[in-house]
C-alpha cells in the first residue's frame, strides 16, 4: 500500500483538499493519502470548507481537522508533497520522491481564487494518481 503525505504549514486548506481528492479517486486497496502541517492550526479554513462543499465533499463530515505532519506514516517508495508554503520536510532517504507543488495559500483569498486553487489541486492529484498507477478499477 502506497501512502502519499500532503504537507503544508497549518493543514487547513491545500493539503486537506489534496488528501480528500486523492482518497476519492485512488483505489483504497492500493494507496491512501494523509495530510499534515508543520504548525497545525486549531480549525479548518471556512472558505475551503465552503468550496469543497460546493462540489459535494464535506470535509467536516469526514472528520478532517488540522494535524501534525507525520513522516512515520510513510514507507518505502511513498511520496511526500509540500503544497508550496515553504515547508521543509526532513524526509528520510527511503522516500521515493519528495516534491513541492508551489500552490498559493487560500487563506485570506476571495472565494473565486480559492475555487481556482481547489481545481488546480484536483487536476494535480488526478495526475498523481495516474502516475502512481493506483486508479480505481
For the domain that residue 125 is a member of, what is the CATH number? 3.40.50.2300
Whole-number pLDDT of residue 72: 75
DSSP code of residue 94 = T
Assigned domain for 39 exists: yes
Burial class of residue 51, CB neighbours in 10 A (0-12, 13-18, 19+) = buried
Q: Which segments of 8-102 does DSSP mark as H helices, in order?
A: 14-25, 46-54
Whole-number pLDDT of residue 62: 85
Assigned domain for 55 exists: yes
**Grid cell 495530510 in the structure block, residue:** 35
Whole-number pLDDT of residue 93: 44
Assigned domain for 35 exists: yes
Short-list 26, 36, 31, CA closest to 71: 36
Q: In what order do the strands lie in the sheet with 79-82?
A: 31-37, 2-8, 79-82, 97-100
DSSP code of residue 71 = G
Residues spanned by the domain of 49: 2-132
pLDDT in tens, 86-123: 655 554 444 556 788 999 999 999 999 999 999 999 99
Assigned domain for 137 exists: no
- Count of the separate structural domains present in the chain: 1
Assigned domain for 74 exists: yes
Q: Which of the four pLDDT bands, split at 50, 70 and 90, describes residue 22?
A: very high
pLDDT in tens, 32-79: 999 998 889 999 999 999 999 999 999 998 889 999 888 777 777 788
Assigned domain for 26 exists: yes
Assigned domain for 120 exists: yes
Cell readout for 106 is 487560500
Q: Which segments of the chain does DSSP mark as H helices, in order?
A: 14-25, 46-54, 111-132
Amino acid at each position: 500500500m502506497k501512502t502519499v503525505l500532503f504537507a503544508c504549514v497549518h493543514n487547513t486548506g491545500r493539503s486537506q483538499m489534496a488528501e480528500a481528492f486523492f482518497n476519492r479517486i485512488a483505489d483504497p486497496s492500493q494507496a491512501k493519502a494523509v495530510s499534515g502541517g508543520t504548525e497545525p492550526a486549531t480549525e479548518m479554513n471556512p472558505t475551503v470548507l465552503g468550496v469543497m462543499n460546493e462540489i459535494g465533499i464535506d470535509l467536516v463530515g469526514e472528520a478532517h481537522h488540522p494535524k501534525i505532519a507525520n513522516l512515520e506514516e510513510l514507507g518505502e517508495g511513498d511520496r511526500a508533497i509540500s503544497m508550496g508554503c515553504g515547508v521543509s520536510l526532513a524526509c528520510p532517504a527511503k522516500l521515493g520522491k519528495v516534491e513541492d507543488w508551489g500552490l498559493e495559500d487560500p487563506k485570506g483569498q476571495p472565494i473565486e481564487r480559492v475555487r481556482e486553487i481547489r481545481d488546480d489541486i484536483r487536476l494535480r492529484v488526478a495526475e498523481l494518481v495516474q502516475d502512481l498507477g493506483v486508479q480505481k478499477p
